[in-house]
Structures are given as C-alpha cells and as structure tokens.
Amino acid sequence: MYMTINKKLDDLTISSKSHPQHYMLHKYWGRKPHNLVRDYIELFTKTGDTVLDPFMGSGGAVIESNKLKRIGIGVDLNPMACLIVNETLKKELDFDKLVKEFNNIVNGIPDEVNKLAYTKDKNGQFQLIDNAIWEHGKISRIKYYQDKKRNIKDADEYDQLTVITATKLLAKYEKSGMISFPRDEIMTYVRRSGKHHINELFTDRNLLFAAFFMTGVKKVKNKHIRESLTLIFTSALPNFSSMIPGDINTVNGKSGWQISKFWVPQIHSEKNALNTLKLRLTKFINSKKEIDELSTDTSYKIMNQSSENLKNIPPKSVDYVFTDPPYGDSISYFALSSFWSSWVHESVDYNNEIIYDPYRNKREEDYSRRLDRAFKQVHRVLKDKKYMSFTFHNRHIKFWKIVIDAVYKTGFQLVNVKWVDQAVASGTQGINRKNTLRGDFVYTFRKINESLYENNIVSGEKIIDETIEKLLEKNSHVTTAKLYESLIPEIIKNQAYYDSDGKL
C-alpha cells in the first residue's frame, strides 16, 4: 500500500489554479490552491470518509471535502477563521432579507454623517466621492463620477472642512454612546509606520461610517443574517482602510491590503466606505450562489478550539488529514485577524496561539511544545496506517526542524515530498519575485506506532554541496528560491539540520 500511494503521488500532476469566487468571500493568509487540496483528498479518501484539518485557517480542506461528499472537520482557535468557513458553507440564506437588513442599516445613518461622503464640483453642486488620496496626513485629491464620467479635483477648503467635521462628529457620537469603535492596541509583531491602535488605520470619516454600520449589524435579530452582515463588514474593512497605497494621478488605490503588517503608506487611498460595503454585499451574494451549487448536504463540523486537545473527536475516527501548520514566525494570523475581530468583539484566545512571537514571549520552546501536543492529538484520532499531508512555509530551518520533529516524535513516517507551483503571486512575493517561493511543498506521512525521532546532530553540509552541484550541472544560474526548493526536502529526509559546527 505504501509503495502504491507513493507512486500515485509521484504520478499526480497538479497545476495550481486561481481561487474561485467563493474562496474570495474574505481575505485570509496562506491559502492553498483549491485544486491541490481537492486532488489530495480525492487520492486518499472515498465518499463518506472523514477528513480533518486541525489548523483550518480559511477552510480549504473542509470546503473541498464537502464538495466531494466527505465529512470535513475543521479546527481553529481563531474565531475569524471559523466565521469565514461557516459563512462559506452555510445553506439556505435568504438573500432578500440580507439586502433588506443591509439597506435598513445604511438608511439609519444620520444625514450629517452621510453628508461627509460628498464634495463640491466647480459649480458648487454636491457630488458623491468615489475615492480620495491623502499625502502625509492631509487630504490631497478627490475623485467623483458625474453622469458616469470620472472627475478628479484637488481637495479644496470645503473638503478640508469636511475632514475636520468628521473628527468632531466621531467624538460626538462616541461620547453619546450611539457608536463605538475599537481602540485595541496593535501587537508589536505586525505594527508598522508608527500606528499603535486599530482606529489609527482609518480616516475619521471612514471610522465613523464603519462604526455606524457595525452598530446597526449588532442590532439585527436574525442570527444568520447578522453573521453574514458581520462577514460582509469585516471583508470590506481593509478596502476602505488607510492601508491601501494611493495613486496621486488617477486617485485610485494601487492594490489591496497584501503586506502582512499594519502599515499606512505616506500616500494612501480613502475609498468611499458605503460604496465599498455595497460592493462587498454584491460579491458575497454572488459567491454564495456559486458555492451553493457546488456544496453538498454532507455534514461538516467547525470547531473554535485549540488543536492541542481534540477530546471531542473519537480515537481512530479520521480517515485522512490535510493541513497547513502554523508557519513559525512567517505569518502572525491572530495579530492580523485582530483588525477584524476587534470590531466584532470576539473573545480571542491569544495566549494559546501556536506561533513564534518573541514580543509575546512565545519562543521556540513554546512553539515546539504546542506542536508536539497537536500532532499527538492528530495521531490519536487518525486511523491506523492512514495518511496525513501538510504544506509548510518558512525560510528558517529551525522551524522546519521543530515541525518535522513533532511529527516524527508522534509516530508518523515520511512517505512523499511533492513541490507544486503557485498559481498567482502574493503581494509580498511581488516585492522580490526572483528570490521568493512560488509554490508549496506537500509532505505526506503515514501513521505508524513508533517514534522515528532521532535527537542526533547530523550535518547537512555534504547534502547541500551535492544538491548545489547537481543544480549547477543543469543550470548556469540558480535563484535563491530554486535552491531552497531543492535543498529543503533533502535536509528533511535526512534530518540533517546542522552545519559542521553543530549549529542550526
């Protein structure tokens, strides 16, 4: 069986595809190509089998399991991850009621607040702002449409006064108790450009619109509608935040929030908040209609809890595991998600996040101990001789060692390593395309009942030298990314993490 699986994996040809619309309901980091996840689930399971993802994230394994009529179980300590996946797979949502409640909220915003969304044209007529550009803390240029024709103007005295009025109204309505907005401190790990609190990531005008909208959402009595509106709101937040770089000439936002930090550029965009929310409403409905045609009535389970204790999953009840363990210090999922969860007042268990974050005193020992516990639980619930596949990204070999050691200690045997190219580059990859990874390693392990962990210091220098020689025999030039893709599997297979001096 082991040799058959290995051959099937080697023969498996996967060309990563872009995410379909239903995966774009909400931003999340580290998404894997849906067809990659689907192909692995199809290979290792049959209809009715149970598939577990103990680090669910945005839910690719659970969603694809549902489409394939498998029983998906997703576990994640991050409540935003659970909201995203539940909203993606939720059935029988009344779209008419959703739109009605959305409009009720928008129509309930006071007139003096709505007036902030307007500028004056050269004839003194009010025009709805589409976008504005801010330079070094001051509003600079404005774009609006009149009779479907784009118009751009420099911000004038009226626009400057509107900015001042927004600040005054924000203070007025907050003091009255009619609205509230988060002032949560931004975690050091993701803090950039001198911004220390969540509210500093918005202009006062957009903060005011966001606060009124979310206040309205919380008053919606229908739980299903309220949760969907919450997702629409949080999915729109980045787009009308101040984290979007601005183009001073076209008065457009240059890109979405793609850098995994809270960063306000010196020149940034200020999109019309209500227009952005309306666009997200339309996108949500279209995405839900798409997934409704693809998803099945197969049961699935979303658990907002730590993977360190899976006591509510019976022993040896899972047929296959596909997951994406926390990336060490690469992506701070909880800190980034605080941008959303701070608005919806989720109770977030930051202390038990599995991550390397020295600012929170979460170092190698804590990261290692928690992964040991998590994979021990995965081993317990997985059926004997069944398989677990996972992807992992980090340039630091110490994190690879921690993850692989945790798997070996628990009782898993490595059977296959496969490289799959990425369909679309991420925002951070766009900064340095030549030397950034453009794909995923997929490691597949088989459950056995003995530990293969060896606490030996094995030098990887010979392996590195031989691998580089082979690469250079075939290529006159080798990029850093290509070298990494070739080296990591060899280091992992041989557990050769150290140099000749015994250092990682």
SS (H, E, C) 465-493: HHHHHHHHHHCCCCCHHHHHHHHHHHHHH
Residue 92, helix vs strand vs coil: coil
Cα 431 from Cα 363, distance rounded (Å) = 28
pLDDT of residue 2: 58
pLDDT of residue 479: 79
Could you write out the DSSP letters of every residue in 245-310? BEETTTTEE-S-S-SSSB---SEEEEE-HHHHHHHHHHHHHHHHHHHHHH--S--EEEE-S-TT--
Section 370-390 average pLDDT: 97
| Per-residue pLDDT reduced to its tens digit, 337-370 | 999 999 998 789 999 999 999 999 999 999 999 9
**Mean pLDDT value across the chain:** 91
Residue 461: closest CA among 452, 453, 471, 469: 469
pLDDT of residue 429: 43
pLDDT of residue 423: 56
Indicate the pairing of strand 318-323 with strand 50-53: parallel
| Per-residue pLDDT reduced to its tens digit, 262-321 | 999 999 999 999 999 999 999 999 999 999 999 999 999 999 999 999 999 999 999 999
pLDDT of residue 501: 61
Confidence of residue 402 (pLDDT cuts 50, 70, 90): very high
In whole angstroms, how far apart are CA 422 and each of 19, 34, 316, 327, 435?
11, 11, 33, 17, 14
Percent of the chain residues past pLDDT 70, beyond the cut: 94
Residue 443: closest CA among 479, 408, 398: 408
pLDDT of residue 424: 54
Residue 153 pairs in a beta bridge with 142
Q: At 404, which amino acid appears?
A: I
Q: At 466, which amino acid appears?
A: E
Decide if pLDDT at 55 tops 60. yes
Separation of first and last alpha carbons in the chain = 35
| Per-residue pLDDT reduced to its tens digit, 38-49 | 999 999 999 999
Section 109-117 average pLDDT: 98
H/E segment holding residue 227:
helix 223-236
Nearby residues of 249 by Cβ (< 8 Å), 6 or more positions away? none
Confidence of residue 502 (pLDDT cuts 50, 70, 90): low
| Per-residue pLDDT reduced to its tens digit, 238-253 | 999 999 999 999 999 9
Section 175-184 average pLDDT: 97
In whole angstroms, how far apart are CA 49 and each of 9, 46, 52, 321?
19, 6, 10, 11
Residue 374, helix vs strand vs coil: helix
Residue, of 396 and 424, whose pLDDT is higher: 396
Residue, of 469 and 99, whose pLDDT is higher: 99
pLDDT of residue 492: 81
Region of poorest pLDDT, from 194-203, 209-218, 277-286, 452-461: 452-461
Cα 485 from Cα 422, distance rounded (Å) = 13
pLDDT of residue 435: 41
Q: Which tokens belong to 312?
A: 């509510």
Q: Where are the alpha helices (DSSP H) in 27-110?
A: 34-44, 60-67, 79-89, 95-107
